Chains A and B, each alone.
Chain A
Amino acid sequence: MQNEYDLVIIGSGAGGAPIAHELARKGKSVLMLEKGPLILPQYQATTGVSGFRRDEALSTGAEKILRLDVANKGMPYYSSHVEPDLNDEPHIYRRADGSDDATIEGYTAQVVGGGTQLYGGVSLRFTPRDLTLAQWNNRPGAALDGDPNDEVRRAARDWPFPYATLEPYYAKAETLVGINGEVANQRKPFTSGDKYQKPLAYNPISEHVKAGMDALGMPHYRTPLAVITEDHAPSGRKGPQPGEAAKTAYVNRYGDPMGFKSSTWVSLLSPIKDLPNFTLLPNCTVTHLSSDGARIARVHFLAPDGTPREVSGRTVIVACSAIESVRLLKLSADIDRTGFAPRINQDGNGMLGAYFLTHCFGGASALVSSPERYDKSETLDSDFASDFCHADEFLAAQRIWAGAVIYNNTSDRALPLALARNYGSRDLDTIWQGFNQATELVSDALDAFLDHSFGRGLSITFMANQVPVKSNRIELHPSVKDKWGRPVAYIIKDYHSHDVALMNKLSGVCRDILVRGGVTVDIGSGAVFGKDELARCANHILGGARFGTDRTDSVLDPDCRAWGFDNLYVTDGCFMPTSGGANPTLTIQANSFRVADILASRI
């Protein structure tokens, strides 16, 4: 390993990989450090077998017991094989009652490719309106439900550039990552053209969703998914033969052993892996950055056996997921309180870690009626989406501040273990709980339960902007340490009253789609997180180091460069000032391609 690189990139997911891809191909020397393992698809694995498997024990593993000194000490948890072990490196959340819990987020994987290995692959653009929510909510006559103190208008932020700036990078991401989908009926301009591969035939259970959306006059489209359905020239990947072979319910929270799912490893990093100017070091934990004036001088990390090492980069990119990126910057500030700290903290403006966001997230779920039953194991994660709830007219009429995509899930409850362990669970922290307590479901009653629900589950999700609130933030926990003895991330977060109003309305829309689509058995709807889970994270973690044009109101400038440094960029989801009305991965990737272009002209 050399000592100095043009670029050192921390994290190999959606925020880091596009920059590595672009700059390595331009001949820059790039070192990528990833905390997690390098797990290869079977066509690359020297043993001929991938470390990702179609095995329900990998997405949600065996029981482990929390040993940390927090409120849920002693409780069981069940994590994926590429999620951090909670006892080793937890994220701690402050609950509504002030006590602290360790919790599982779901998609912040520690693996080369990051969350793009585990995600369902939903790859939506944000709408032009998603990036101009301050303008919209400060228009004359704007009125919102659940906002008695008129806070949302003041909290809303426009992004520092319009959708048109991001559009060509969306197209680039769609081209290079490998996404199947449909442009028609999306409420976003596709100025650079349609870069999607063809979607596969939808699972017949989704016919109900289509019918429900049609009945409500909601234009719909096939959900864009980061799964290739045919050969993908940019990454050199062979597509599934036939395309239908890509369908398996081992998709959401599973890495893909076949490499059809377009993780950043197979799509963006594999094409550069053999370049002499690109080095990827997996299983390496970056502990802190050190600075010399306005320059990041060294990146300090631990080799896979814990041996300390350091390296320097002319430019340093931090992209290890919103919570961990903020944590890394805060840990670096803690180590150097007179040098690094005042520069990253902007002389104490309180912005680093502030305005942490997830999504307003929820939906509706039900079972199709007997005798209907479908093979949900031949599926991708989602079939139909609608931007109906993104329309300005909808926002104005519903008195909500921002829009949302609505789409159905087809891979949920598709496999036998998932059917049981998700029964009655509210999130990943309560998995198995409902089933465990339903001890009456046994023998004939267990047969009846399976008969009732096997191949019948259908759910609809909305993904909406959460109101940015400064007190929603990422800190360092005062007492809990990771396995290296470093303070862990501490998340303090609640929903604004307008978020609650918005979630109620949108979950109602999801419910209406199911009802109008004729799916009513055991119907339920609402926000995903109930009262006790107020402080918990959804699976999308965003904000905490937002970008903006005003350095007193942001951590990063519009180029994602830290205001206080010359050569430090942060490009995972923490740059977002608002969380968008859609899953964030494609926007993180598009923004990183944008930053890559800026960097190409600077280094």
Chain B
Amino acid sequence: MQTEPLDHTGVLNLAGKYLARRADAPVADYAEPWRFPVVDSHHAGNDPDLNRVTFVWRAGGGDDRRPVAVVGTFDSLWDATPLEPVLFDGQPTLYRAATVLIRKGQAHIYKFLVDGQAMADPINPQRVVLDNGVEWSRLFTEQCAISVSFESWELAILARLTNEILPLTGDDAQRFMDLYYFTADKRARETAFHQAFRLEQPIGAVNFIDKLVAREERHRLGDYKVCLKLIADVLRSRFPGMAPADVSKDAYQDLYQQMAQGKVDGWDTSRYQSPNFFLQLLRRHTYTGAFSHPKYGGNAGAAGWAWLEHRFRGPKDASCFNWERAIEPPIGASADYVA
């Protein structure tokens, strides 16, 4: 695949902080290994729908000169893209890297070919095991609406829970969201925005969480897996014959209150000690997802920011959150800032 010119300092900026450490340090000691491969903005072209994705390999030592290439579903699987030495002060380092352009909103699997030998990326903790038992590394690009962490029943419960948390289910908020969606441009509607509405989750907080626990807060994926199962069990026992995602709003409000108080009838504390702790986690993630930059998969079409501007006005109906002027197009309308 055709590669972009390598930004050597850009790679070292991340490798120096997150990967560099004592030679005998185990891979588990890397700080924020989820940052690799590096998914970042691409501005040089006319197509705003591309991300720069930089694959990084760290050799075991200076004498390790085995060739490294990457193959993946972002390209035809048999076409290997070689990684080139990352230079510091004009000299090769232990790092090798390659930057390719990949469309936003996508998830891909890939492997490294080290001296022709296929292996998962030893840095990136995201792995998937295919039906044939083979393990691949995975990446996803910005505004990705493909579920990578949760199954559909989990997503459905999360949609109900996040709806209980966010102040967006009232009539005014619903009217605003509908209008905002239908006036959004076609491209926005086809991306995460569409996903947000399909799941009846205002502004995509669930999608944000799905991505967050795959990367930045991967250490919390287990909390969700255990607790969503516990919640499903609790709701099934309370409403036999109903899918947990279909029980009434009152049922979810009751559940929320009980979790807040730390006492949920039917909650198996041997499987997860504190429902309150999980609620705090979920609430922080939900709020963050609603109002973070849309590239992280929530705040679809910046609907969260637009709602804040719509809802909280100054005297004479003045806007008190002109978010568009600071944010890059096409999400915002900054005249000079790009991202």
Residues of A within 8 A of B (CB): 1, 36-39, 42, 46-51, 53-57, 61-65, 85, 87-88, 110, 240-241, 245, 248-250, 257-258, 281-284, 302-307, 371-378, 416-417, 420, 432, 435-437, 439-440, 442-444, 446-447, 450-451, 454-455, 483-485
Contacts and interface: CB of A to CB of B under 8 A. Distances in A.
A305 B322 contact: no
B168 to A, nearest CB: 9
B11 to A, nearest CB: 9
A20 to B, nearest CB: 17
Given A85-B32, A439-B280, A51 B314 contact: no
B283 A436 contact: yes
B314 A48 contact: no
B42 interface: yes
B133 interface: no
A447 B167 contact: yes
B258 to A, nearest CB: 11
B164 interface: yes
A200 to B, nearest CB: 14
Which of A42, A48, A439 is the most central at the interface, judged by chain B CB atoms within 10 Å of its CB?
A: A439
Contacts of A305: 15-16, 20, 58, 88, 93-95
Given A443-B169, A484-B22, A375 B321 contact: yes
B194 to A, nearest CB: 23
Contacts of A49: 40-43, 338-339
Contacts of B22: 306, 483-485
Interface in B2-33: 5, 7, 9-10, 12-18, 20-23, 25, 29, 31-32
Given A56-B293, A306-B21, 8 more contacts: A38-B13, A48-B43, A61-B216, A63-B216, A248-B326, A305-B94, A420-B287, A442-B164
A85 B17 contact: yes
A526 B14 CA distance: 39
A416 B304 contact: yes
B336 A283 contact: no
Given A49-B338, A282-B13, A439-B279, A455 B292 contact: no
B242 to A, nearest CB: 22
27 contacts: A37-B14, A47-B41, A47-B52, A48-B43, A49-B338, A54-B327, A55-B292, A55-B339, A56-B291, A62-B212, A85-B31, A110-B17, A241-B336, A257-B339, A258-B336, A283-B16, A283-B20, A283-B88, A304-B16, A306-B21, A377-B322, A417-B287, A432-B284, A439-B279, A446-B166, A454-B312, A483-B31
A37 B339 contact: no
B240 interface: no
Contact of B314 (A62, A374, A484): A374
Contacts of B212: 62
Contact of B322 (A46, A375, A416, A447): A375
A304 B293 contact: no
B184 to A, nearest CB: 20
Given A377-B321, A439-B276, A455-B321, A57 B220 contact: no
Which of A88, A378, A444 is the most central at the interface, judged by chain B CB atoms within 10 Å of its CB?
A: A88
A435 B322 CA distance: 25
Interface string B252-295: 00001001100000000000000010011001100110011101
B206 to A, nearest CB: 16
B321 to A, nearest CB: 6
Contact of B313 (A373, A437, A483): A373
B219 A65 contact: yes
A378 B322 CA distance: 8
A455 B14 contact: no
Contacts of A454: 308, 312, 320-321
Contacts of B241: none
